[in-house]
């Protein structure tokens, strides 16, 4: 499993597809896949909803690391008709694309900011 980490901005999309056109990053990744060096290609993201949509629509990736909160939808941008990544989650389902949920409980249960321990 191979993941392009942190495709977070519109210029990331242009960079992986268009830079050098003949030797774009995505062509190199697909070459490695064809040679059996990897089986599945994904991306992780904190991007606005529209950029994530565009990456999913590209039909290049087989799974994505996506923010989705268990009792509602969450992205760093908070955009989208349904308040986050719900549209992207549904698009992944339509395309039979795998989804790994990241930060399901706000960065792993807020382990970066644990509550204070109170002594009885």
Which residue has 């986050």 as its token pair? 84
Long-range contacts of 80-86 (CB under 8 A, 24+ apart): 80/49, 84/49, 85/49, 85/52
Q: What is the mean pLDDT of residues 37-66?
A: 91
Q: Is the per-residue pLDDT at 17 higher than 90?
A: no
More confident residue, 111 or 13: 13
Q: What is the mean pLDDT of residues 75-80?
A: 54
Chain CA centroid to CA 52, Å: 7
Give the count of alpha carbons within 13 A of 103, CB side only. Answer: 17
pLDDT of the residue at 83: 60
pLDDT of the residue at 68: 73
More confident residue, 120 or 100: 100
Q: Parse the chain into domains and list their residue ranges.
A: 2-107
Whether 80 and 89 have beta carbons less than 8 Å apart is answered as no
């Amino acid at each position: 499993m191979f993941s392009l980490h942190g495709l977070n901005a519109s210029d990331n999309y242009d960079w992986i597809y268009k830079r050098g056109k003949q030797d774009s990053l995505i062509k190199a990744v697909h070459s490695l896949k064809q040679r059996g060096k990897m089986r599945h290609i994904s991306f992780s993201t904190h991007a606005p909803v529209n950029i994530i949509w565009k990456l999913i629509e590209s039909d290049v990736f087989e799974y994505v690391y996506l923010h989705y909160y268990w009792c509602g939808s969450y992205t760093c941008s908070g955009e989208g008709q349904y308040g986050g990544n719900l549209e992207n989650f549904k698009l992944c389902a339509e395309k039979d694309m795998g989804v790994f949920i990241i930060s399901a409980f706000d960065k792993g249960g807020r382990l970066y900011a644990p509550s204070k321990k109170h002594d009885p």
